[in-house]
Every structure is written in structure tokens, then in C-alpha cells.
């Protein structure tokens, strides 16, 4: 049986595509294993979603973009990870390695090259992350999400696949999402126009402290206009904050499709996975990308791409105050129908199913290279 090794981790964005691919690879007769870090988020997410997939851990370095004494140790950790991954790959004998990026992917990709194995990499953001830039010379093919990325990458095989969205996310039920949050009442069901619009606020899997604080500082004003679903991240969850019309989750798993289905508007960081998920569902969004002081600027590029096409409004992180956030959401609501229409019109060119990526991996695992 052909075998594929999946790797990637650090944040949920580096893991969720891999999880979505597993059933499609298995449906194509491909055995799957996962290589990640010893204590990363990827181990927990895989255990929750596909506990029967073998998980192997290797040493990793953080690949920081700032000074830290740990930077002196990280090259040795990466080198140890390469040795460990090479041994694992020798034992597992996969036909292909698929890398979703993140620091854990670097030693696995380098080890695959040493073993002579083809590597397919996927880049969600408009500008490649550091891990994918390091891995690029050792990759057989790169799959990208934004058309702008294809023009920027210097690689002989770059394939535009669009934003890959998990099928489960498209099957949420609006009424179930409202019920989970306590927004649905007999009066609302009898008079649909009576219900407030639902505003989803999310900072991604790690949360967004600045968004959390700005929202909560004007919570009364927001609740006067909206019912709020707040995905806070583990550090931002406040169990003492209980208000009618305000529903918070530290991290949503099986509830997430229903919560997204319930949303009429969204405020979000601009990580590629989240914005393409919102786009697939036609949810008008206010994007608040991480600043260059906090990141490499990838979210700014993602947000600008959507803004240029009229698919989102953008509020720079540096401009976030409680008042500015409320004004920006109000402006988004005024434009919501026009943005929703553009999202639905653009959806076929924006969104890909996991099958598209699984087909590429399957071709390397058991057949000729894809055309």
C-alpha cells in the first residue's frame, strides 16, 4: 500500500489541512502517518480528530525572527530532528512527504531530501513562511493559495489550488449554532426579523489579546447591536464574564461549523485558513492583521489581497481601539450585502476542496508526477 507522511505544526493553521486530507488519502488507498513535535498543538489535534493515525515526534527548533538565547540551541535541535526524522522515514518507508509548514516541518523535509523522497509543500499565506522558505530548495512541488504567490515564488513547480476548506466546516447548521450559544428562543423562531445579527470575533487558534480587550471594553455597545460569538483562545477565556447575547469559547472543535454557520459578520485576524473559511461561507469580514512588529507581515499581505478585491474590510492592528473597532464593525454591517455578493461570486475561483490536494499527493505516492 502506498504511504504518505504528513508534517506541519505550531499553530492550528499548520495542522487543519493535514487533518482534512487524511480521509481523502485513505479513500485513495494511501496509508498515512504524521511526524510532529513532542509537545506541539498538532499532537493534540491529531489525537482528537484521527487517533488511529500513527504519530511520531522529532526534535525541533523554533526558527525565531528575534533575539533569544534559545536561538543558539535551535540549530542543534534542528540537526537532531533531521537525524531522528531520517531514521523514522527509513523505518516508515513512505512514498511521499507532505509539508504544511511550521518549524516542525523543516527537519522532516531535510530528512526526506536525504532519503531521496519527493516532498510536496503547501503555503497558505500570500508570502511564504520562514519554514517553507528554508524548505523550498528541497521540495518537488509547491501548492499555493493566492495567485500573487505563484508569481513571487522562484520554483520550477508551483501550482495554484486556492484556499482549501474542510468539508465539515461547510455543513454547519445556523440554528444549531444559535442554540449552542443560547441565542435561539421561541420568540426569535416565530419572528425571524427580531433576532440581532450574529457577530463572530476570532483571533485564530492562539487568540488575539488586543481584539479581546477592545471588544470587551465596549461590550455593552456591541451587545446593543449584535449577538456575539467570541473565540477567545485559551489565554483570553474569561469564565467570569457572562452576559445575555455573549457566548465565548476558548477553542471550538466539533462546534465550529455550527458557530460559523450562525455568523452574519466576522472580525478576525488575517491568517489564510480562517479568511478562506469565512469566504467559503460568504461571511463579510473585518480583518485585523497582525502588525509587522508582531509577525513577518504575512497577515497584512493576506488582508490587502482580500481588500483589493472588495472581499473584506481591513482595520490595521495599530489602529485598534474599542471605539475604532465598533465603528469598523458598524461600517462592515452597512456594506455586508455587497461584500457577501462579491464573496459568493468569487467563491469558485477562491476555494478548493481537500480532494484537489489529495490528488497531487496521490500522484506522487503511486503514479506519475501530476501534469
Contact of 363 with 369, CB cutoff 8 Å: yes
Write down the H helix ranges in 93-184.
105-114, 130-135, 147-152, 174-180
User: Does the annotation list 262 as a binding residue?
Assistant: no
Q: Which residues contact 113 (CB under 8 A, 6 or more apart)?
A: 119, 138
Q: Residue-wise over 105-144: b if at least 16 C-beta within 10 A, else e?
A: bbbbbbbbbebebbbbbbbbbbbbbbbbebbbebbbbbbb
Q: Which three cell numbers stand for residue 134?
A: 528554508
Distance (Å, whole) CA 284 – CA 312: 6
User: Does the annotation list 250 as a binding residue?
Assistant: no
The H or E element containing residue 285 is strand 285-287
**CA-CA-CA-CA torsion sign (197, 278, 230, 211):** negative
Distance (Å, whole) CA 223 – CA 246: 7
User: Does the annotation list 366 as a binding residue?
Assistant: no
Distance (Å, whole) CA 97 – CA 232: 33
The beta strand positions in 70-180, using DSSP E, are 96-99, 119-123, 141-144, 158-160, 163-164
3-state per-residue secondary structure call for 27-63 = HCCCEEEEEECCCCHHHHHHHHHCCCCCEEECCCCCC
User: Does the annotation list 11 as a binding residue?
Assistant: yes
Q: Measure Cα distances from 212 to 114, 155, 250, 326 in Å.
A: 45, 40, 12, 13
Contact of 202 with 269, CB cutoff 8 Å: yes
User: Does the annotation list 145 as a binding residue?
Assistant: no
User: Does the annotation list 207 as a binding residue?
Assistant: no
Q: Which three cell numbers stand for residue 11?
A: 499553530
Label the pairing between strands 3-7 and 227-231: unpaired
Contact of 351 with 165, CB cutoff 8 Å: yes
Binding residues for UDP-N-acetyl-alpha-D-glucosamine are: 11-13, 166, 205, 299
Amino acid at each position: 500500500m502506498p504511504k504518505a507522511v504528513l508534517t506541519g505544526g505550531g499553530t492550528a493553521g499548520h495542522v487543519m489541512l493535514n487533518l482534512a486530507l487524511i480521509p481523502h488519502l485513505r479513500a485513495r488507498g494511501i496509508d498515512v502517518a504524521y511526524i510532529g513535535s513532542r509537545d506541539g498543538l498538532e499532537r493534540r489535534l491529531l489525537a482528537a480528530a484521527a487517533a488511529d493515525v500513527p504519530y511520531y515526534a522529532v526534535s525541533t527548533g523554533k526558527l525565531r525572527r528575534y533575539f533569544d538565547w534559545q536561538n543558539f540551541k535551535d540549530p542543534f535541535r534542528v540537526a537532531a530532528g533531521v537525524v531522528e526524522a531520517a531514521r523514522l522515514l527509513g523505518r516508515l518507508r513512505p512514498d511521499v512527504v507532505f509539508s504544511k509548514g511550521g518549524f516542525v516541518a523543516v527537519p522532516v523535509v531535510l530528512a526526506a531530501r536525504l532519503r531521496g523522497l519527493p516532498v510536496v509543500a503547501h503555503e497558505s499565506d500570500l508570502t511564504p513562511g520562514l519554514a517553507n522558505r528554508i524548505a523550498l530548495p528541497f521540495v518537488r512541488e509547491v501548492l499555493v493559495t493566492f495567485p500573487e504567490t505563484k508569481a513571487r515564488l522562484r520554483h520550477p513547480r508551483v501550482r495554484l489550488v486556492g484556499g482549501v476548506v474542510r468539508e465539515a466546516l461547510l455543513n454547519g447548521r445556523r440554528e444549531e449554532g444559535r442554540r449552542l450559544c443560547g441565542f435561539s428562543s421561541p420568540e426569535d423562531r416565530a419572528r425571524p426579523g427580531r433576532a440581532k445579527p450574529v457577530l463572530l470575533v476570532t483571533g485564530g487558534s492562539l487568540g488575539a489579546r488586543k481584539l479581546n480587550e477592545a471588544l470587551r471594553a465596549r461590550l455593552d455597545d456591541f451587545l446593543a447591536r449584535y449577538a456575539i460569538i467570541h473565540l477567545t483562545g485559551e489565554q483570553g477565556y474569561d469564565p467570569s464574564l457572562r452576559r445575555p447575547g455573549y457566548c465565548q469559547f476558548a477553542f471550538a472543535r466539533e462546534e465550529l461549523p455550527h458557530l460559523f454557520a450562525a455568523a452574519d459578520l466576522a472580525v478576525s485576524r488575517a491568517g489564510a485558513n480562517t479568511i478562506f473559511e469565512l469566504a467559503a461561507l460568504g461571511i463579510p469580514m473585518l480583518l485585523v492583521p497582525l502588525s509587522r512588529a508582531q509577525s513577518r507581515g504575512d497577515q497584512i499581505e493576506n488582508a490587502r489581497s482580500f481588500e483589493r478585491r472588495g472581499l473584506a474590510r481591513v482595520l490595521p492592528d495599530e489602529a485598534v481601539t474599542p471605539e475604532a473597532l465598533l465603528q469598523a464593525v458598524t461600517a462592515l454591517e452597512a456594506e455586508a450585502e455587497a461584500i457577501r455578493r462579491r464573496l459568493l461570486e468569487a467563491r469558485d475561483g477562491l476555494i478548493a476542496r481537500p480532494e484537489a490536494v489529495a490528488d497531487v499527493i496521490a500522484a506522487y505516492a503511486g503514479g506519475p508526477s501530476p501534469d
